[in-house]
């Protein structure tokens, strides 16, 4: 069964590499690299340790911004989901801010925080906090009222109500929001590094393009971004499979 899951995507990727190689050979391009040149350039960065430094810089920024978003979004989403007045007051603000592209915040981030690490961390926060707030709030709204009424009839305290009913019920929806938010965060950090930083995968791609049009390193950086994004998404999917997380009162 595992081979059946691995072989089809591996065949598609191998076919894509073959088409890429044939297209470069057919066009005779001296600028666009072949897969072999991309692999060789990426291996040079690995040997020098430069690639690992850029990956670590990007991951640290994502961890900081996404962690702050989780700390803010989950309590806020629970609060908006349980308190009607909070939902009526805050939901319009969330719905106005949520569609704004994170890239549009870049000038504001540079104005407020300069060109250091604080700017991309803020951009990651602002881009990933809203999907988690919306998903957590929606998860609370889908809890069957009979479970809440049963807990209230037994005199369950508010703390136990959240710990034993509300939070277990919304965990699947929360993880969906976290998965979406993490994917957006990984996109945003790369874009921010292309503009305002001197490290990270986004900076590496722009630096390679400007330093003699090293498109082998540009393509190598793009492939690394895709692979790391796949690993991050896979980690979130593994968390979703935990038995205590899969259980839910919600539909």
> Residue 65: how many CB atoms within 10 A of its CB?
27
Virtual CA dihedral for 99, 102, 104, 108, nearest 10 degrees? 120
Please tell me the distance from the alpha carbon of residue 71 to that of residue 125, in angstroms, as a whole number.
10
| pLDDT category of residue 250 using cuts at 50, 70 and 90 | very low
Please tell me the distance from the alpha carbon of residue 207 to that of residue 93, in angstroms, as a whole number.
38
What pLDDT was estimated at residue 148? Answer: 72
Break the chain into its structural domains and give their ranges.
Answer: 50-246
This prediction's pTM = 0.84
Q: How far is CA 238 from CA 38, 232, 242, 247, in A?
A: 31, 10, 7, 15
Q: What is the pLDDT of residues 136-191, one digit of tens each?
A: 998 888 877 777 777 777 777 777 777 777 777 788 888 888 888 999 999 888 88
Please tell me the distance from the alpha carbon of residue 230 to that of residue 183, in angstroms, as a whole number.
9
Could you tell me the fold of the domain covering 50-246? MetI-like fold (1.10.3720)
* Rama region for 139: left / alpha / beta (φ>0; ψ in -120 to 50; rest): alpha
């Amino acid at each position: 069964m595992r081979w059946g899951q691995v072989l089809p995507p591996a065949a598609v990727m191998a076919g894509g590499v073959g088409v890429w190689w044939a297209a470069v050979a057919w066009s005779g391009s001296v600028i666009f690299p072949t897969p072999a040149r991309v692999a060789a350039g990426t291996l040079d960065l690995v040997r020098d340790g430069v690639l690992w430094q850029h990956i670590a810089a990007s991951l640290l920024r994502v961890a900081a911004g996404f962690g702050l978003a989780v700390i803010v979004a989950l309590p806020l989403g629970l609060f908006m989901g349980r308190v009607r007045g909070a939902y009526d007051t805050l939901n319009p603000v969330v719905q106005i801010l949520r569609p704004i592209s994170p890239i549009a915040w870049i000038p504001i981030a540079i104005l407020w925080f300069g060109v250091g690490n604080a700017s991309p961390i803020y951009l990651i926060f602002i881009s990933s906090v809203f999907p988690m707030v919306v998903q957590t709030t929606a998860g609370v709204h889908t809890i069957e009222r009979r479970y809440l009424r049963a807990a209230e009839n037994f005199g369950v305290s508010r703390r136990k109500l959240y710990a034993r009913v509300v939070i277990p019920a919304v965990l699947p929806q929360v993880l969906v929001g976290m998965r979406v938010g993490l994917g957006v965060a990984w996109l945003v950090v790369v874009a921010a590094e292309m503009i305002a930083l001197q490290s990270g995968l986004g900076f590496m791609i722009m630096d390679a393009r400007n330093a003699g049009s090293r498109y082998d390193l540009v393509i190598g950086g793009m492939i690394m971004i895709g692979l790391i994004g796949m690993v991050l998404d896979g980690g979130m999917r593994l968390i979703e499979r935990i038995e205590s997380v899969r259980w839910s009162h919600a539909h």
